[in-house]
Amino acid sequence: MANPIVGKCPVCNEGMNVTRLECPYCQTKVEGKFEICRFCRLGKDQLRFVEVFIKSRGNIKEVERELGISYPTVRSKLDNVIKAMGYDVQTAPEDETGAKRRDILEMLNKGEITSKEAVKMLKDL
């Protein structure tokens, strides 16, 4: 079994170029400069996240549950994958209320507050 393509340089972390392809059956060789797929640019952790995300059909609650991470962490990991694949991440400026909601939900996720406390705090926003 062959090793997976290394998508990023282990020295500088920039994208690698594939310059030679070889058929394992007839030994035909093709040399040139070939572009690697966008998924090859992802690290092991990012690929694992993508697998869980796809398996969950993009259901963030399922991703949270399976990976044991919070909603903001899921969003952050998704943004990192999007960037690693070479796309721009479109982020809307978060208003003050949105930031407070996120903080409350994060405190709830960490067990720092109860669900009743979180509901009250969210209603008070």
Does some domain include residue 15? no
List the structure tokens of 106: 């994060």
Domain that holds residue 109: 92-125
Structural domain count, the chain: 1
pTM for this model (two decimals): 0.59
Mind listing the pLDDT tens digit for each residue in 76-102?
999 999 998 989 887 666 667 777 888
Q: Please write the tens of the pLDDT for every residue from 8-60.
A: 888 998 888 889 989 999 999 999 998 888 888 888 899 999 999 999 999 99
In a domain, 12, yes or no: no
Residues 15, 26: Cα–Cα separation, whole Å: 29
> Residue 124 falls within a domain, yes or no?
yes
Residue 100 lies in a domain: yes
- Residue 95 has phi, psi (to 5 degrees) of -80, 170
With respect to residue 113, please indicate whether it lies within any of the assigned structural domains: yes
